[in-house]
Amino acid sequence: MQITKWPLLMGFMLVPRLIQAQVTYLPEGSKEYDYLDRLEIKLGSLNSIHFSSIKPYSRRAVVEEAEYIDSLHAAQSGSLTDMPDSKWNSLNLTQVDLANLQSIRMNSPEWATGSKEGFLSKKPIFKSLYKTKPNMVEVNTKDFFLAFNPVIYYQMSKESGNGENVFINKRGIDVRGMISHKIGFYTTLSDNQERGPQFFQNRVNTFHAVPGFGFYKPFKGTGVDYFDARGYFTFNIAKYIEAQFGYDKNFLGDGYRSLFLSDNANSYLFFKLSTKIWKFNYENIFMELVPQFEKMSGDSLLGRKYASMHYLSLNLNRWLNVGLFEGIIFARRNHFDFEYLNPIIFLRYAEGNVGSPDKAHVGFNFKANFAHHFQAYGQFLLDEFIAKQILKSDGFWANKYGYQLGMKYVDAFNIKNLDLQIEDNRVRPFTYSHYDSVTNYTHYNQYLAHPLGANFQEFIGIARYQPKPRWVLDGRAIYYYQGLDSAGQNFGANPLELYTTRLHDYGYQVGGGDRAKCFNAALTVSYELKQNLFIEGSYMFRKYAVAQGPGSGTTSMLSLGVRFNAARRVYDY
């Protein structure tokens, strides 16, 4: 018997009598992520209700956080303004912040307390649709909650030098609910047709997958047609332990990118345990992944590989959070290795017990809020190293690691609602790769962490300005250089390539090989016509230059679109 759906069986074995109040999570790309990150920095202290290094965010946690911040603002505005506690004296919420707090509560009404009159629509459609502003259909009774919404994203673009229209056409549904405060559930289904810019098309052809998604069919020549289906159910095992089983994505870190686990790749089947108690949050994620494959022709069964990841997060004090990460990628002929069900750090010990055939990573994450305006954050990922070679600085191939350093600055230069972010990511050659093509750090021919893979250095600058509750201006500039394969030699940029194909052991530096340089900048102006309905215009400029091989070119693209309960599509690589 192949045991590929072991998490489902485990879920049903876990004492159902202990199930308690349940949660669902904010979908990828929700506006609440920007709101909460900004408000946490302004608060200046870390709240153990909400651990923001772990995404997606729990709706219950974000509402509790929003209502906590709102209560502090109420105290500041009322009779407690003379209190010495800096949380009251330095919060300085703007009118936009207050509107965003209300929006957070409104979009997760199942957890909101207090008055909800502001959630109601003035003119429901056909008396039964959009009785509340965010949800087309909402049922909120003592033992049952249901929210049903359409998903629409239509965008037309004009790319320089491209005679074809560039477009996105998404239609779908989004459903979430809760049964008797014991079972939570969520599903989103969408049918998608997309023709991205030409460098996006090249990436699809190279990896045989749509970035961020998976299986696709050709559409009108250079376009792609794909279906996106995600969903999960949640339940509590005990008072402090939540369980989630489903098919979706996870993100670990505080930056724009993650070197541990990001939402860059396709969704995957997973079982997650979240243990929150005191100042600790401990995540165990068990994943079923798809190893790399050649382009499919006709119907065929893809293989399976598996991953076990642990992330322990601790609020050391009211302004500093640190986290420890470890992950193992392994394959056992389409069945799970129960050695990796061990929920306790360290997985490397378990890997040693089975002969050390698998792909192991460890990492460190930190986040520090200070001065009610700033957040410093970073990651260090260690794949493999030999200590005596690190000190020699001779480019030994097996010194495989990466780091991230970043800073966020809210209400920058005393301009209300202007937030800035800078970030530096650097990953050495051959990081994430392995001697076995199955156990590299990938899923469905896409990288599980950074979209560039390895052998690169990247600099990111982001500016976000929200002058009014409905208006957002979002600017992003990314510059990176990367060493690509040259003359058939593997320089360690692509984790899908075996590191055993390298030609020598020394002399590998970041950017070594056929050096590519890229500048990618985009500006988006967005107006929220009604809750979660956005009208957007954007301009993107990308210049890509390769020293020796083909692929150099300049792209500029102007876009106009509308999206409803859908994440914005970005081409940021």
DSSP string, 91-147: ----HHHHHHHHHHHHHSTTT--S--GGGB-SS-BTTTB-SBSS-SEEEE-SSEEEE
- Supply the pLDDT for residue 350: 65
User: pLDDT value at position 351?
Assistant: 61
Q: Is residue 573 part of a domain?
A: no
Per-residue model confidence (pLDDT) at position 248: 98
Is there a domain that residue 572 lies in?
A: no
Strands annotated E in 448-550? 456-468, 471-484, 514-530, 533-546
Share in percent of the chain as helix, strand, coil (round to 5): 15, 45, 40
Integer Rg of the chain from CA: 24
Q: What is the pLDDT of residue 393?
A: 78
Any domain includes 1: no
Domain that includes residue 436, residue range = 6-564
Residue found by looking up tokens 């876009």 in the block: 559
Q: Judge contact between 192 and 563, C-beta under 8 A.
A: no
Report the candidate in 199, 162, 195, 211 with the shortest Cα–Cα distance to residue 518: 199
pLDDT of residue 520: 98
Phi first, then psi: what are they for 263, rounded to 5°?
Answer: -100, 25
Number of domains into which the chain is organized: 1
HSE at residue 438, side-chain half, CA atoms within 13 A, is 14
Instruction: Give pLDDT, residue 181.
Output: 85
- Selection from 343, 282, 342 nearest residue 313 by Cα: 282
Instruction: Provide the angle, in degrees to the nearest 10, between the axes of the packed helices 59-77 and 32-43.
Output: 50
Smallest CA-to-CA distance from 147 within 133, 130, 135 is with 135
Dihedral of the alpha carbons of 57, 62, 63, 66, in degrees to the nearest 10: -160
**Euclidean distance between CA atoms 30 and 186, whole angstroms:** 15
Q: Which residues of the chain have pLDDT under 50?
A: 1-19, 79-88
How big is the chain, counted in residues? Answer: 573
In a domain, 536, yes or no: yes
Residue 571 lies in a domain: no
pTM (2 decimals)?
A: 0.93
CB-based contact 470:519 (threshold 8 Å): no
Residue 15's pLDDT is 39
Q: Is residue 91 part of a domain?
A: yes
Q: Which residues lie below 8 Å from residue 8, measured CB to CB, with a gap of 6+? A: 245, 271
Nearest to 350, CA basis, from 293, 384, 299, 309: 309
| Domain annotation covers residue 569 | no
Please, what sign has the CA dihedral across residues 244, 321, 466, 133? positive
384 domain residue, yes or no? yes
Residue 234: CATH number of its domain: 2.40.160.10
